Amino acid sequence: MRRFTILLAFVLCLDLSARQPVRARHAMVVAQEPLAADAGLEVLKRGGNAVDAAVAVGFALAATHPSAGNLGGGGFMLIRLADGRTTFIDFRERAPEKSSHDMYLDASGKPTRDSIDGWRASGVPGTVRGLEYAQKKFGREKWADDLAPAIALARSHPLSYAEAESMKNARNLAKYPESRRIFQRDGKFYEPGENFPQPELAHTLELIAKGGGRVFYEGEIAKKIAQAEAENGGLITLDDLKKMTAVERTPLTGKYKGYQVITSPPPSSGGIGILQIMGMLEGTGYEKSGAGSAAAIHYVAEAERRYYADRNTYLGDPDFIKNPVAGLLDPEYLKKRFASFDPQRATPSDQVNPGHPKGAESTETTHFEVVDGEGNAVAVTYTLNGGFGCGVTIPGAGFLMNNEMDDFAAKPGTPNMFGLVQGEANAIQPMKRPLSSMMPTMLLKDGKLFLVIGAPGGSHIITGVTEAVLNVIDFGMNAQDAVDFPRFHHQWKPDKLELEPGISPDTAAILQKMGYDVDTHPRAGSRVEAIVVRGEWLEGGTDGRGSGKVAGY
């Protein structure tokens, strides 16, 4: 009865009772903006593979979803080829050479907002470098052909209600003349359905289509970035841009109940997160109480809490620090981490300290994924960090810059914009990549592709993706139900359990009695996208919290 109450409350809250997964036999693209999803499908239909389609979606989102789609940000791409080979491309932003450990502290030692707003907030963008690296090594089509849909969309496209409202309501855009002119028409805001022309962005994309990444990092576009940064007190120089690289890394792998998990390594913290949380849960039988029950939420939230304590202490850019990955994922270590779990009571976060793994030394993002007709799969999460990044647009180039420097620990031990309290491992250093929650992930069943999944949402990415995976594996949900089901979030500090609307008030009351400080009106969480492979069918789900699209044929 309680499970029925939970599901009914969720349906009434989100009005998703009629939502079914989109199913296709051949290929599928899932993206958080419909026109970009269509761009990827267009590339697939004319012969491109999953990487070509992902590149097309990535560039298209810069035009159609400017709050998160980008040229001026960075991210991660997870690839699994039909022959079983896997790789992970890290094109996360890097701190400029002029960066320093205490650069965002005022005279009294308190963090300022310079890591969030304005020209000093940006890391060196990696998106163009990363997409080019992937396309050159794994794509099939011509580079210019993969960019063609984005160029057309940048020239003009009709605005959805969601995109028009997001541009209208973005306070950071209003602060900067070029951003206010392009995205807010100097106060004469664009209406839903109205065409949105971006001639500067279209020209920038045309230059990239002709000259590749070099024009962005060493040529005409690079000079525009460096000039604008210098004139406005920014940090990024031509030398920073020229040195920017994409790095190919080995994905993290693990197992859960017979499924093989392929996920994101550091500087992502999310891959370790899903493997730690599932490692603590395996064998507990938590799922017997049912999806959305107080008991199930309690088990998962306590695992989340313990993971975040480790995350915020040990993890950072692997090119700068030693991440104790093997120790953090060791089954015996995870057993010890969960030994303090009390089935009846919440453990206060002040009593949950980081563990001692072997080898340890003493909101706005978007996700998309593609599965092509050959069985190649790509999952990409990339970001400007906050909505519309730092708010500034490069004059004459038409694209926004990130505020990724806030993902560092500007002052270790002090919360960032997502409330994460991080340690010295993620402190600012020149050319360092900030720790990320982005975690494109895949699961295999009997050696075959089973699930492709990921999400935007800052620190909520890790819990959102993990809970959606558990919904599929442990609670038997289809792709759409798994991503739509109400979620919860605990990130150790602050010591709060966030419950989405749709979770039963009775369940919330039980959790409060167990000792949780329950927040039933949390800020927006992650928006998960998933493709599940069921025999000959691809089953796609796009999160009802957003306005994305599953496109397949």
Q: Tell me how far apart the alpha carbons of residues 247 and 516 are, in angstroms, rounded to a whole number.
A: 41
Q: Tell me how far apart the alpha carbons of residues 324 and 127 are, in angstroms, rounded to a whole number.
A: 28
CB 382 within 8 A of CB 368: no
Token output for 263: 């996920």
Q: Tell me how far apart the alpha carbons of residues 110 and 411 are, in angstroms, rounded to a whole number.
A: 8
CB 366 within 8 A of CB 456: yes
CB 61 within 8 A of CB 220: no
Complete DSSP assignment for 411-458: STTSB-TT--B--GGGB--TTPPPPB----EEEEETTEEEEEEE---T
Find, among 71, 315, 85, 377, the residue nearest to 201 by Cα. 71
Residues of the chain with CATH 1.10.246.130: 2-22+249-362+438-534
Q: According to the model, what pLDDT value does residue 361 have?
A: 42
Q: According to the model, what pLDDT value does residue 355 have?
A: 82
CA distances from 244 to 53, 464, 546 (A): 24, 31, 32
Q: Which residue has the tokens 């490069």?
A: 394
Q: Which residue has the tokens 């609307």?
A: 501
Q: Tell me how far apart the alpha carbons of residues 430 and 428 are, in angstroms, rounded to a whole number.
A: 7
Token output for 475: 């609670």
Buried b (16+ CB within 10 A) or exposed e, 237-273: bbebbeebebbebebbebebeebbbbbbbbbbbbbbb
Q: Output the tens digit of pLDDT for each of the chain's 553 residues.
A: 333 333 333 443 444 445 899 999 999 999 999 999 999 999 999 999 999 999 999 999 999 999 999 999 999 999 999 999 999 999 999 999 999 999 999 999 999 999 999 999 999 999 999 999 999 999 999 999 999 999 999 999 999 999 999 999 999 999 999 999 999 999 999 999 999 999 999 999 999 999 999 999 999 999 999 999 999 999 999 999 999 999 999 999 999 999 999 999 999 999 999 999 999 999 999 999 999 999 999 999 999 999 999 998 899 999 999 999 999 999 999 999 999 999 999 999 888 888 878 765 436 789 999 999 999 999 999 999 999 999 999 999 999 999 999 999 888 767 766 666 677 889 999 999 999 999 999 999 999 999 999 999 888 999 999 999 999 999 999 999 999 999 999 999 989 999 998 999 999 999 999 999 999 877 657 999 999 999 999 999 999 999 999 999 9
Catalytic residues: 365
CB 70 within 8 A of CB 366: no
Q: 82: Cβ–Cβ under 8 A, 6 or more apart, which residues?
A: 374, 375, 376
Q: According to the model, what pLDDT value does residue 359 have?
A: 66
Q: According to the model, what pLDDT value does residue 430 have?
A: 96
Q: What are phi and psi of 409, to 5 degrees?
A: -85, 90
Q: According to the model, what pLDDT value does residue 227 have?
A: 98
Q: The domain at 2-22+249-362+438-534 falls in which architecture?
A: Orthogonal Bundle (1.10)
The model's pTM: 0.94
